[in-house]
Structures are given as C-alpha cells and as structure tokens.
Amino acid sequence: MSRGGLPSDPRPATVSQGTICWPGGQDLPAGDSNCRRRLASWLLDASQPPTLLLPGQESVRGIRFPVWRNEHGERVAADCPGARESQVEVWPLPLDPWLPASERRRARLGPASESCPPLQTQDTAPLVLSGIRDGAVIKRLPGEARVMLPLQTSGGGGAALVVY
C-alpha cells in the first residue's frame, strides 16, 4: 500500500503510456496525413509495433501503399513527368465498409490520371474468399446428393464468373 491507503501502481517499469496513430499503429509527426486518428496507448519497452494484419486480410503490400502523384494530386505511373512518390496508409480491409467515404481505400489513394495512369490500380480491394478453413474435411451429409459450402467474398472488381 502506498501513502494514503491507496494501492501502489502495479505497472511494471517497462510499461509506459504513449500516443500512436491509426491505422498504422505507430507514432507519426503532427500533421502527417497518415495519422487518421491519434490515440493514447500502453507501450511495452517503448515499442510501437505496426498494426497486425490477419493472414489473407490484405495483399502483399499490407496497408502501406507507395503512390506517385502529379502536380494535380492524381495518381500516376512512377515514370510520368513530375511524378512525386509518397506513402499512403489505409485502414485494414475488413473495416472499409464501415468507414466514412472519405476514409475508405479508394478515397485515400485518390483518383488516377487519365493522361498518365498508374500501371496498377490500387483502389480496388483484393478479392478475398472466406468460409472454409484451411485443412477442413468436407463430407456429404447422408442421403444428400451435393455438398453445400457457405462461401463469402469481399473486394475484387471487374467481371464475375460464377461456377456451380
């Protein structure tokens, strides 16, 4: 017990309070456009690990995208005249449907230039299929001719081909 009958602080000396930015999960300088929300957090050994992404949740780039922009702020190919590189952090993909339109991936990355478009479009979320766990054993129910598999999709773009 500490003075005044109040319990002493049970926190280990390696735990401290800090401020981190989301969606990246690390502290960024004031005014950084990738700091969409600044929140208080507890840190262990002053460590600020980046946002943990679930397997299959994002593409290989994760939530950090290199983006080249022209003088109008449009996304362009890296070899376009006047292209300037910047890093854009977006919210993890599963949050996209619940975010305000201004915070969604498409809005954060910005429009593509028509005169010198980027080689890859990054405004379409990657196609994610879910519903069956890796290694699951699938068996037909007795008396049933088919197996029903509940699948869900999110992301993707373009034409769709459905095969049954």
Pairing type for strands 128-130 and 152-154 reads antiparallel
Query: Is the model more confident about 146 or about 121?
Result: 146
Mean pLDDT value across residues 93-111:
89
* Domain identity same for 76 and 97: yes
Bond prior to 81 in cis (omega within 30° of 0): no
Mean pLDDT value across residues 86-114:
90
pTM assigned to the model: 0.63
Q: CB neighbours (10 Å) of residue 125?
A: 20
* Domain identity same for 63 and 28: no
Please say which residue of 28, 46, 64 terminates a domain.
46
Count of domains for the chain: 2
CA R_g for the chain: 23
**Quick check: is 121 in a domain?**
no
Q: Is the pLDDT of residue 6 over 70?
A: yes
Domain range enclosing 26: 13-46
DSSP state of 147: -
**Quick check: is 29 in a domain?**
yes
Cβ–Cβ < 8 Å for 64, 87: yes
* Domain identity same for 31 and 75: no
Q: Is the pLDDT of residue 164 over 60?
A: no
